[in-house]
Every structure is written in C-alpha cells, then in structure tokens.
Amino acid sequence: MPLTITNARILTLAQPGPAEARRRAAMRDLGVIERGHVRIDEGEIVAVGAGDPQGASEGEVIDAGGSVLMPAFVDCHTHCCWAGDRFDEFEMSLAGASYLKILKSGGGIMSTVRSVRAAGEEDLLNLLLRRLAAMAALGTGTVEIKSGYGLNPEAELKMLRTIHAATRQTTQTVVGTFLGAHAIDPDNPNYIEQTINETLPAVAAEFPDITVDAFCEQGAWSLEDTRRLFENARDMGCPLRVHTDQFNSLGMTRLAVEMGAVSVDHLEAITPKDLEHLARSKTIGVILPAAGFHLDGRYAPARSLIDAGGAVAIATNYNPGSAPTPSMPFIVALACRKLRLSPAEAITAATYNAACVLGLQYSVGSIEVGKRADLQLLDSSDERELAFEFATPGPLVVIVNGEVVHMRAVGREEN
Ligand code: NIG
C-alpha cells in the first residue's frame, strides 16, 4: 500500500556530485527540507518535496508533526551472527585483563568460535534474526555482517549461509562479508594456509564477489599473511576491507590503501603519517567508537581524519567481545562526544558514507526518488537531539523497504 509522510523536517542527504563518500564540509550538509513530504510506493521513494503533496494521497498517511525524517541507518561493520556469550570474560576485563591478553589465552574471539562451531544453523539464524529485529527498532535498515567465528571451511560457510538465509526473513538489507582471517586457531597448525588455500576459494565459489576482511593485529593475522590472503582475494575479484590499527600499528593501513581496499576499520592506533596517507586516498575509514567505550577508552582520531580530507563512516561493530551494542543512535552520540564529530557529520557517517562502504549508495543512505524507502522518523524536531541524548529507545517510526517495521507508542495527549 502507498504511504505518504507529511509535515516533516526532512534530512534528504541528497547532494549533487559523484556518488562517493562525502568529505569535509559536504559531511555537514544534510540537504534539509524544512517542512516537506515523502511518498512511497512498492518499497520505493516516488516523491520528495517541500510543503504538502499535490493532490489527494492514496494509501496510508503519517503526519510527522514537524519531527525529523531521515534515512534509516546503514550499519556497515558488525559481527552480529554469533552464539554463546562472553560474560565471564567481561568480568575478567573489569578486573583488568586486556582484550589481547584474553585472546592470547585462547578466549575472546576463539571462545565465540567454539560456540558457533557447536551451534546448529537454525539456532544461529534465530539468534541473528532477534538481533536484526532489535537493530531495526533502533532505525537500522541495512546491516553488514561478518563471518569470522568459524575459522574453517565448514564453519565459515555455515555462518555465511546463515547470514544469507537471514536476507529472506527480514526486510532489512543484509550484506555478508568473509572474515575467515579473524584470529589464529591454536588447535589447527595449518589454519593460515587452510584459510588462504581452502576456505577462501570455497567461500568465493559459493558467494562470488564477496568482500574479504581480516583482523591484522599482534596475536591475530600478520601483515605478510594478510597481504597473501588479500592478493588471492583480489585475484578472485573480491573487494577488500581490513581491521587495522586497533591496538598496534603494523603497517596494514598503508598496505590496504595501496591494495585499493574499500575501507580500513578501527584505526584507534593509526600513526599521523598513515592518517595523512589515508586521507588522500579513496579508502574509507570506518570508525567503531563502541570498542573504545567498552574496552579501554581509546578512540580513533576521526576528527583529524575528516579535517585532513578523509572519508569517514561509523558503525556499531555489534559483537559479543568488543562492542555489545545494536544501537546506531548510541554510536552517533558516542561519535560526537568521543570522536568530536558534529551531529551532522555523525549522521552522514552513519547513513550515506556507510552506504558507500557497502557499495549501496545508489539504493540506500539518502532520501531521493528511486531509492529504497528506508526511513526513520525521530522523536524530535531537531536532529541534534539524536546526538545529544543517549541510551534512548530510538526512533518513533522505522520504515524499511516501504514497510513500517517499528512504531513506538508515545503518550501524546489527544485534543
Ligand atoms: O572489530 N577485533 C576484531 N574483531 C572485532 C571483535 C570481535 C570479538 O571480540 O568477538 C572488532 O572489535
């Protein structure tokens, strides 16, 4: 059924120019229509304009009452397909154990690997669908989900098939990424060679053109092994992304830029020289402030990266170890406080620029005719409130692919 939203402050995020991640001042231009309407039909935006719509509106009408209507979030970096929990390790970390120390002792990512290997596909899918529903209620229309808790051909394929199965059971857009290079499996002396020579080809055969990711870090993948994996992946036509400079700078950011990676993710420990190099490239920096909030209070220098002309996106990193949050509104609030982004920059980083990371900027991330109708109506007439408040229940209304997937009851008085 067609749907029209009227009387809204619309952040279109539409801008002339190439469909590339926005930088510098363009990040602060939200393409605002002060009071306007959006028409949706068959999942697509068919009209966007100032004032009231022309003629009678067919179908359902939502009067926004002056509230902000903006694109649904694009969460471009998550690990939200997992089983088990790491609550014991949370208590260890509260008592002072570091993330890398827990990983080195066979816990951390490896602990979730054991749980995921033991889980049945149906259980894994149900856990994932519950998390996707929580993310939708918080305004997220598109979710990237990494494998990386399997670490052998069977279990990695099991994760990617589960992620693919989720696409049929949610209206959200779900994008799978192969992260077979996520930790070093201490029980498999052949793990690195197996990942490069067996797991990667098996995954690329079943999921052609899938993006390949790696965790390049002390105690995880070395620079040289990541390079070998990426060379093979690139030869298979797979785009590259990498977890780099999270705790230590190993030279991966520069190598990723040279290899034409779509994004470099984390960057808490990036050097000033690498930051300059990255800012001059097409590679997008994906900043994940929930990890600093949850683990150790370290944050990436996102302000410097934007000021140097770099392209920046932000994401939840939703996972059971370093970032246990489904909430993009919380990430926007953190990005303003801890990364020193302005509210407008954080909104662009969480929508349009995040869509660019996934190559989806032609279908999501802005409110424009012909795009998928993924929208959210905030409980405010000023988008700065999204950044100012934190730990909120999220938007009033969330529309994904033209369907209202979430509507929050509010105690407004009827006259
Ligand atoms: O991006 N650092 C590597 N991967 C995730 C954490 C995954 C986990 O701890 O389970 C991250 O922070």
Average pLDDT value for the chain: 96
- Asked whether residue 414 carries a pLDDT value surpassing 60, the answer given is no
Are 296 and 374 part of one and the same domain? Answer: no
| Structural domain span for residue 7 | 3-72+365-414
> Of 339, 357, 375, at which residue does a domain stop?
357
Question: What is the distance in A from the centroid of ligand 1 to the CA of 322?
Answer: 6
| Residue 291 Cα distances to 101, 241, 318, 343, angstroms | 16, 18, 9, 20
Are 178 and 239 part of one and the same domain? Answer: yes
Of 373, 351, 369, nearest in space to 361 by CA: 351
Are 97 and 212 part of one and the same domain? Answer: yes
Closest residue (by CA) to atom 5 of ligand 1? 322
Are 40 and 142 part of one and the same domain? Answer: no
Question: What is the distance in A from the centroid of ligand 1 to the CA of 109?
Answer: 7
Which residues have CB under 6 Å of ligand 1? Answer: 79, 108-109, 112, 215, 243, 246, 291, 317, 319-323
Give tens-digit pLDDT for 230-265.
999 999 999 999 999 999 999 999 999 999 999 999
Closest residue (by CA) to atom 9 of ligand 1? 321
Name the token pair of 281.
């490239």
Question: What is the distance in A from the centroid of ligand 1 to the CA of 183?
Answer: 9
Share of the chain above pLDDT 90, in %: 95
Are 15 and 102 part of one and the same domain? Answer: no
Name the token pair of 45.
């935006």
Atom number in ligand 1 closest to CA 77: 1
Domain count, the chain: 2
Are 214 and 87 part of one and the same domain? Answer: yes
Q: Best mutation site among 145, 215, 247 for ligand 1, i.e. most ligand atoms within 8 A of its Cβ?
A: 215
Are 114 and 174 part of one and the same domain? Answer: yes
Question: What is the distance in A from the centroid of ligand 1 to the CA of 104?
Answer: 14
Are 67 and 396 in contact by the 8 Å Cβ rule? The answer is: yes
Are 325 and 247 part of one and the same domain? Answer: yes
What is the CATH classification number for the domain harbouring 158? 3.20.20.140
Question: What is the distance in A from the centroid of ligand 1 to the CA of 74?
Answer: 19
Share of the chain above pLDDT 70, in %: 99
Overall pTM > 0.85:
yes
Are 381 and 279 part of one and the same domain? Answer: no
- Asked whether residue 163 carries a pLDDT value surpassing 90, the answer given is yes
Are 202 and 246 part of one and the same domain? Answer: yes
Name the token pair of 242.
């990498």
Q: How far apart are CA 135 and CA 265, in angstroms?
A: 21
Give tens-digit pLDDT for 342-397.
999 999 999 999 999 999 999 999 999 999 999 999 999 999 999 999 999 999 99
Q: How far apart are CA 209 and CA 43, in angstroms?
A: 26
Are 104 and 90 part of one and the same domain? Answer: yes
Quickly state the pLDDT bin for 412 (edges 50, 70, 90): low
What is the CATH classification number for the domain harbouring 16? 2.30.40.10
Of 42, 141, 20, nearest in space to 370 by CA: 42
Give tens-digit pLDDT for 182-220.
999 999 999 999 999 999 999 999 999 999 999 999 999
